[in-house]
Amino acid sequence: MIDKLYNNADSFSMAFDEEWEKIKCKDKSKKIKKVIELLSEHPFVISNPEMAEKIANFRINLLGKF
């Protein structure tokens, strides 16, 4: 994982992308939840879990990662 984590969407997005590539799952919603669980100690997830989930969904749909 990235050495420094910041309480912002960019830091969360970079960490999310890194973890996303490691998880093998065919269900998009389950995979997103699993990645967010793995990042549960990320400052952005702690301070704004709802927004973290919205950003995760946006990134997956925008970047066609599924």
SS3 annotation, the chain: CCCCCCCCHHHHHHHHHHHHHHCCCCCHHHHHHHHHHHCCCCHHHHHCHHHHHHHHHHHHHHHCCC
Q: Where are the domains of the chain?
A: 9-19+26-63
Whole-number Å distance between alpha carbons of 66 and 61: 8
- State yes or no: pLDDT of 1 exceeds 70: no
**Residue with the two structure tokens 């050495």:** 3
**Residue with the two structure tokens 């989930």:** 53
pTM: 0.88
2 falls in which pLDDT band (50, 70, 90)?
low
Average pLDDT, stretch 49-63? 94
Whole-number Å distance between alpha carbons of 55 and 59: 6
